[in-house]
Amino acid sequence: MIPLRRRTLLAAPALLMAGPAMAAYPDRPVRIISGYPPGGTNDIVARALSVPLSAVLGQPVVIENRPGAGGCIGAAAAARSAPDGHTLFLGIVDTQSINPLVYRQPGYEPERDFAPVSLVTNIPFVMVLGPAHPTIRDLPGLTAASKAAPGQFTYASWGVGSTPHLALLRLAKAQGFEMLHVPFNGMAPALQSITAGQVDVMMLGAGSAEAASRDGRVRVLASVAPERLALLPQVPTLKEQGLDLPMGLWQAMYAPARTPEPVIARLNAAVREAAQAPSFVEAMRAQGAVPEPGTPAELLALQRQERDAYGAVVRDLSLVLD
């Protein structure tokens, strides 16, 4: 064992190096990479958070959308960035817990390539139906119609292996019917296909679903939440309709691995403060969510818990992509 005095002396250079870096951080604009296109839930959260986060950090915070491969392209780009706290990644359960289970070569490894900063929020899913089937009003109606026309109903997602893909795959399997999967490279184009009547069904963030349902472009069939949502109080949960399918969509902030601990601590404090800003709280309320910032350790535990839970789903479905 190294004596205490010697350990202190060995640690001194690192502390001296971290001190000036910490005092100067951030000394230029901070970039948040999103692995999904503009207009989707991840983009909405990133942009809503960027304004109060910029005020807390004292530097501009810019959003860079790098969509593709279910978020893998953006995640890989963020992982390769300099570990100085000036490039961050707004990861979700898909990028941090599911993609490495589904893709043989995602281009990154979440625990190896990222340092967790803080959970940001958790947005509940709801199931929406497009305008092509005006007589279907609930999950039993969808189940009956799908069984009467095997394989003719379609469902959208933002990529193979994404949370909405796995959720609807599990739902169809549990209810005993089949639907054809139509993947897109983001939530916004997938939703456009639903509202245009090109694809029938989708799991969607509650806020986006509520906005699309106001003018009748979609019908909300069920919420994937433990209880009814304040944003959509008239919509029954899946559990109320006989199916317990606990799945949600969390967003969390990450930095590249090897980012100095003092910078991670500064970022954690900044995200916690920004997530409590009235503008962000209101933006999340419109999404049916509340801010849920926490510690890096809590985020890592959530990431691992979700990886284990979804691992069982992926194995059960034999879902692997090259």
User: How many domains are contained in the chain?
Assistant: 2
State the pLDDT confidence band at 318, using cuts at 50, 70 and 90.
Answer: confident
Tokens of 55: 């005020």
Q: Decide if 72 is inside a domain.
A: yes
Average per-residue pLDDT in the chain?
Answer: 89
Q: What CATH number corresponds to the domain at position 148? A: 3.40.190.10
Of 160, 200, 162, residue with least CA distance to 178? 200
| 254/105 same-domain check | yes
| 112/135 same-domain check | no
Of 141, 144, 149, residue with least CA distance to 179? 149
User: Can you tell me the mean pLDDT for 165-192?
Assistant: 88
Each residue's pLDDT tens digit, 37-89: 998 889 999 999 999 999 999 999 999 999 998 899 999 999 999 999 999 99
Which single residue is written with the structure tokens 């920004």? Answer: 274
Q: Decide if 288 is inside a domain.
A: yes
Q: Are 236 and 222 in contact (CB under 8 A)?
A: yes
| 98/30 same-domain check | yes
Statement: residue 320 has pLDDT above 60: yes
| 135/216 same-domain check | yes
**What is the residue range of 181's domain?**
124-224
Q: Decide if 169 is inside a domain.
A: yes
Of 311, 273, 136, 287, residue with least CA distance to 205? 287
Each residue's pLDDT tens digit, 266-314: 999 999 999 999 999 999 999 988 899 999 999 999 999 999 988 888 8
CA distance 124 to 168: 14
> Which pLDDT does position 115 carry in this prediction?
98
State the pLDDT confidence band at 315, using cuts at 50, 70 and 90.
Answer: confident
| CA atoms within 13 Å, Cβ hemisphere of 191 | 26
| 272/211 same-domain check | no
Q: For residue 107, what is the DSSP state?
A: S
> Which pLDDT does position 76 carry in this prediction?
98
Q: Decide if 304 is inside a domain.
A: yes
My answer on whether omega of the bond before 291 falls inside 30° of 0, hence cis, is no
Statement: residue 5 has pLDDT above 80: no
> Which pLDDT does position 245 carry in this prediction?
76
Rounded to two decimals, the pTM is: 0.85
Q: What CATH number corresponds to the domain at position 313? A: 3.40.190.150
> Which pLDDT does position 121 carry in this prediction?
96
